[in-house]
Structure formats: structure tokens, C-alpha cells
Structure 1
Amino acid sequence: MHPAAIAFRDPAALHARAEIAGVRRLTLAPGYETTVVVPDGAWARLPDGHPERFAPTAFTRDSGLVELFRVPRTVADLDSLAAFVPTLGDPTPVTLGGADDPGGLAVTHVSAESGLRPGLHVDNHQNLPYAAREKARRRLCVNLGPGSRYLLLADTDIKSVCRTVHERYESHHPRTADLRLYVTLRRPVHVLRLRIDPGEGWLAPTAVLPYDESTEGQELPSVTGSWLGHWGRGVCGALI
């Protein structure tokens, strides 16, 4: 199983803003799809030495890297954020629009198809097959505040999941249902929770790593803007 590859210079900085928990199945809950995977809520600090488990290796592609960054102070709303994103190296990023989420949500994303919350999920805008999955665009998301929020990342990627739940995984198109089956089979999954404060953002391979966002425990709402694109590592500068 391949964990998230998170870019960081200081393990203590990652340790200070990260927590880890298990997952559980949630079935027939109002506002959610029929059966979803969500954090179990038993958040704990990363064990000592654990941040190094998520360090990128020499084989980590730019497209597979999780990066946290801070936007310039001139980026204060969705309009200025929309002007900032094309300067990062992909001249044709795909806008996913904005979201305005209240505090107190265990997961924030809502499926455009179902109108319901999918829980931990993979993005499938390009619907790439197993063999080409790493070529997918990364997702960029910026928290414009006023509240803080969290990026949720599974520590198991969807290709590892597919190798477990499908015999002919090489020709399969990975999807969120694969993760749900994996958890139903009681395979181990943990989820990281990374705090994203106002003025901060993240890049992540959300077509490969199951993810969501959360405002759990936050009193203030938070506005975000999101894009998909092909960005090299380090284009925004390192936050941690």
C-alpha cells in the first residue's frame, strides 16, 4: 500500500498540523450517498517518527505529490484567486468553482451528480484507467477563510485498493465504489487530517488518493476555490 507523499522540510511542522484516525462505513445517513466511507472521529496526533512515512521518494512524480502552500496577500477573494491560478504554470487550469461551507461538517464535499455527500472519494473528471491514473491533473484548493478547515487524505491509494478488490485491475477504471468495497472487506485504511488555515492552500493527486475536506470543530465558515491542472512541484512555495 502506498501512503500519501507529502512535501515537507520540517517533520515537526507537519506533526503540528496533522492528525490521524481510522475510517468507518456510514449507511443510509441523511444527506449522504447510500453507503460511504468517513473518518471514525478518533483523531490522534501522529506517532513519533510517523511524518517520515509520508516523505516523498526519488520515484514520486510531481503529479503524485501533496503540497501545502500560502497564497500572496493580494489573493483575498475568488476573483483575485482566479487571476492568480493561471500564473502557476498551467495556462489552462480547469475551474471547479467555489464552495462556502459552515463550520461543524465532518466532510464538506457534495457530489454534483447525486447532490449528496460521497464521503472519502476519488475525483474522476478525466476517468483515467488504472495504468494511466498517475497522469491525472492534481487538484488545487485555497481556503479564503474566515475559518480554518482540514484536508482529509486516505493513506492508501486507489490503485492499491483496486489490486485488492479486482482480479482484472489492469483494465479497470478506479472509482469511489472500489474504496467502499475495500472498507467493507475490512481492509485497513487510515485518514490524515491536515489543517488548512485562511490564506493557505493545497495541491493533491485526488484522482489517486481518496480525499475530502472537513470543517469539524470549526465555528467559522470558510470559502474555497478549486482547480485541476498540471503543475510542477514547488510552484507555490513550501508552507511546511
Structure 2
Amino acid sequence: MHPAAIAFRDPAALHARCEIAGIRRLAIEPGYETCAVLPDGHWEPLPDGYPERFAPSIFSRDSGLIELFRLPETVTGRDALTALVGTLGDPVPVTLGETDDPPGEPTTHLSADTGLRPGLHVDNHQNLPYAARETARRRLCVNLGPGSRHLLLADTDIKSICRTLHDRYETHHPRTNDLRFFVTLRRPLRVLRLRIDPGEGWFAPTAVLPYDESTEGQDQPSATASWLGHWERGVFGPLI
């Protein structure tokens, strides 16, 4: 199973802002899609030696990398942020808009199709098949504050999940239902929770790695702005 590939320099810094938990599958719960997969809420520190499991290898593509960053101090408003994104290397980034989330939400994303929370999910803006999945744009998300929030990441990618489930996975179009079926079969899956403070952001391959965001345990709301694009690694200095 392929784990998340997280760019970090200092294992202690990753330990300080990352926790891990198991998952639970909802049956029918108001506000959530049927069979949505959520963290089970039993958050623990990363076990000793665990950061190295998520270290990128020489085979890790830029398109598959998770990077945390802090915005430059000169970026002080929405217009400046939008202008900055336009300089990061993708001439036509896709704007995904902004969200404004209250505190205390185990997951924050809403499905445009259903108006419900999907729980851990994969993005399908490009609807790429298995073989082309790793060419998808990465998601860029910035926490606009005022509160902190968390990025949730499954520790197994959707391509590995599809290889487990499907005989003809090479022509399959991965989707969130594959993750839900994987969990229904009681296959092992865990979730990472990475703290993202105001003025910080992340890049992640959300078409490949199941994810969501959370404001659980926070006492302030937080807003985000997000884009999709083809960005090389290291366009910001590393945060951890």
C-alpha cells in the first residue's frame, strides 16, 4: 500500500503537528452521505519512527507530494493571495473558491452534487482513469483564519485501494465509493491529521489520496481558499 508522501526536513516538526487515528464508517447520519468514512476520533501521536514512513522517495513525483507552507508576510489579503497563486508556475490554475467553516466539524467539505458531507473522499474534477491518475492537478489550500484547522489524509492512496478491489483496475476510474467499499471489507486504513494554522497552507494530491479537512476541537471558525494546478515542489519554503 502506498502511503502519503509528506515533504519534511525535521521529523520532530512533523510529530509536533501530526496525529493518527483509525476510521469509522457511517451508515445513515443526517448531513452525511451514506457510508461516509470519517476518523474514529481516537487521535494519537505518530508512533516512533513513523515520520520516515511518509518521507518521499526518489520515485515520488511532484504531483504526488504533500507540502505544508506559510504564506509570505507580504500577502495580506484575498487579492494579494490570488495574485500570488498566479505566479506559482501554472499559468491557468483552477479556482475552487472559498469556504467558511464553523468550529467543531469532524469533516468540512460538502459535495456539490448532494449538498451533504462526503467524509474522506477523492477529488474527481478531471475524472482521470487509474493509469493517468497521478497526472492530476494538486490541490492548493490556504487557511485564511481566524482559527486553526486540520488537513485529514488517508494513509493509503486510491490506486492501491483499486488494485485490492478490482480485477481490471487498469481501466477503472477511481472514485470515493472505492474507498467506502474498501472500508466495508475491513481492510486496514488509518488517517493522519495535520494542523494548519492561519496563514498556513498545503499542497496535496487529492485526486489520488483520500482527504478532507476538519475544525474539530477548535473554538474559532476558519475560512479557506483553494485552487487546482500543476505545481513543482518547493515553490514555498518548507514549513516543517
Normalised by the length of structure 2, the TM-score is 0.99
**What is the match of residue 189 of structure 1?**
189
Which ranges in structure 2 are unaligned for 5 or more consecutive residues? none
Runs of 4+ in structure 1 displaced over 4 angstroms?
Answer: none
Amino acid at match of 1:17: R
Give aligned-pair identity as a percent. 77
**What is the match of residue 93 of structure 2?**
93
Matched, 1:10 2:10: yes
Matches of 2:169 and 2:81, distance apart in 1: 39
Matches of 2:79 and 2:110, distance apart in 1: 23
Q: What SS does the corresponding residue of 1:98 show, helix, strand or coil? A: strand
CA contact (8 A) 1:101 1:108 kept: yes
In the TM superposition, what is the alpha-carbon distance from 1:10 to its structure 2 partner?
A: 0.3
In the TM superposition, what is the alpha-carbon distance from 1:73 to its structure 2 partner?
A: 1.9
CA contact (8 A) 1:154 1:209 kept: yes
RMSD: 0.7
Matches of 2:106 and 2:83, distance apart in 1: 31
Q: What SS does the corresponding residue of 2:86 show, helix, strand or coil? A: helix
Which ranges in structure 1 are unaligned for 5 or more consecutive residues? none
How many residues of Structure 1 are paired with residues of Structure 2 in the alignment? 240
Amino acid at match of 2:206: T
Amino acid at match of 2:138: R
Matches of 1:75 and 1:100, distance apart in 2: 20
Distance 1:112 1:77, change over 3 A: farther
Q: What SS does the corresponding residue of 1:114 show, helix, strand or coil? A: coil
Q: What SS does the corresponding residue of 1:183 show, helix, strand or coil? A: helix
Residues 212-223 of structure 1: matches in 2 within 5 Å?
212-223=212-223
Matches of 2:225 and 2:185, distance apart in 1: 35
In the TM superposition, what is the alpha-carbon distance from 1:79 to its structure 2 partner?
A: 2.4
Amino acid at match of 1:27: A
Matched, 1:50 2:50: yes
**What is the match of residue 238 of structure 1?**
238
